[in-house]
Amino acid sequence: MAKRPSEFTLIAQVFAPLATAPEAFGLLDDAAVLPPRPGHDLVVTTDALVEGVHFLAGDPPDTIAKKALRVNLSDLAAKGAEAAGYLLALSLPEHIDDAWIKTFARGLGEDQMAFGISLLGGDTTATPGPLTLAITALGYVPEGKMIHRGGAKAGDCVFVSGTIGDGGGGLAILNRENAPANAQEREELIRRYRVPTPRLTLGRALRNVATAALDVSDGLIADLAHIAEVSCVRIVIEAGRMPRSPALRALWGDSLGALVRAATSGDDYEIAFTAQSENSVVEAAKHAGVAVTRIGRVETGSGIALLDSRGCQIGVPRPGFTHF
């Protein structure tokens, strides 16, 4: 195992090259400076990822880096924000060596190029515990245009981007539960778990369309329940309308249990949202080049319900992932 460099050598050789924005000062200072953007609000979000909880110990380092960054960009996307940069706090256990860190940094660099952002700063420490990393992402949205969780109203329709359940399917394969016979389908589901796609373009297109939105991280049912709670409404989801990929259907099938599992497995990082006008959603989705599916409706009342094809409520013992 190659020896890990010292903290300051690590910063200078591995992470400073990622601080491409002039506001980051090449990581030679204690802080970065973000000049205000006239007519815009600054949006800030943070997510921590822990080995064995959010990713597996054997996951490639570059995919761990990309997932850590992308789950934060996904939060910005659901708020309608444009990404501006990020901070990284990295706690490294002893077994992480120089080669691992360089591959991790390469993954960050590739995503910085893909999303047009820069590392702005952060912290690097040692830990006796599992590998832990936290990213704080910063973005801008036109003043007053951030899409909140509270805002859904009775009569709105409920939508979700992309497909649901693929992240959970990928994790199931990595945990050797089962796998589709088709190698391409297996790899696609694993990729969805390890390297999700933040829907930044769609989020910006929804600024004047969505009444409420969030990203699907803990499970579609669990996350939409947050919108229902904050908006003081009832959300009804039709299970048969949930978009699922051919790869996931090959993995889990089409039973009622498979639908519930897809709706509660999490790690999808799609945008779930409500809107008054389906036509406006169709136009926004077309502009963004992202498939969007209407999956339910907003009613008066409280809570969330998942319905079968007969309109009967499906029991959901566990709506999604919880840490505690």
Which option is the CATH number for 157-307: 3.90.650.10, 2.60.120.1030, 3.40.50.2300, 3.40.50.2020? 3.90.650.10
Q: Residue 69: what pLDDT?
A: 98
Residue 106 clears pLDDT 70, i.e. is over it: yes
Residues of the chain within CATH 3.30.1330.10 domain(s) are 7-142
- CB distance 256 to 309 below 8 Å: no
The residue with greater pLDDT, 36 or 294, is 294
pLDDT tens column, 44-68:
999 999 998 899 999 999 999 999 9
Q: What are phi and psi of 20, to 5 degrees?
A: -80, -20
Mean residue pLDDT across the chain: 94
Q: How many CB atoms lie within 10 A of CB 246?
A: 12
> Which secondary structure element, helix H or strand E, spans residue 126, and what is its range?
strand 119-126
CA dihedral 218, 44, 135, 125 (to 10 degrees): -130
Q: What confidence tier does 81 reach under pLDDT thresholds 50, 70, 90?
A: very high
- CB distance 90 to 48 below 8 Å: no
Give which of 212, 208, 198, 307 is closest to 263, Cα–Cα. Answer: 307
Within 8 A by CB and 6+ apart from 55, the residues are 49, 63, 64, 67, 194
Q: What confidence tier does 320 reach under pLDDT thresholds 50, 70, 90?
A: confident
Q: Residue 307: what pLDDT?
A: 97
> Which secondary structure element, helix H or strand E, spans residue 237, and what is its range?
strand 234-238
**The sheet that has 210-215: what strands, in order across it?**
210-215, 271-275, 157-161, 292-299, 234-238, 303-307
pLDDT tens column, 194-241:
999 999 999 999 999 999 999 999 999 999 999 999 999 999 999 999
Residues of the chain within CATH 3.90.650.10 domain(s) are 157-307
Q: How many CB atoms lie within 10 A of CB 68?
A: 24
Give which of 109, 84, 104 is closest to 21, Cα–Cα. Answer: 84
Cα–Cα distance measured from residue 246 to residue 251, given in angstroms and rounded to the nearest whole number: 9
Within 8 A by CB and 6+ apart from 115, the residues are 69, 73, 83, 198, 200
- CB distance 221 to 319 below 8 Å: yes
Q: Residue 129: what pLDDT?
A: 87
Can you read off the two tokens belonging to residue 303?
């809570």
Residue 2 clears pLDDT 80, i.e. is over it: no
Q: What confidence tier does 321 reach under pLDDT thresholds 50, 70, 90?
A: confident
Domain 7-142 has CATH 3.30.1330.10: yes
Q: Residue 7: what pLDDT?
A: 76
pLDDT tens column, 263-312:
999 999 999 999 999 999 999 999 999 999 999 999 999 999 999 999 99
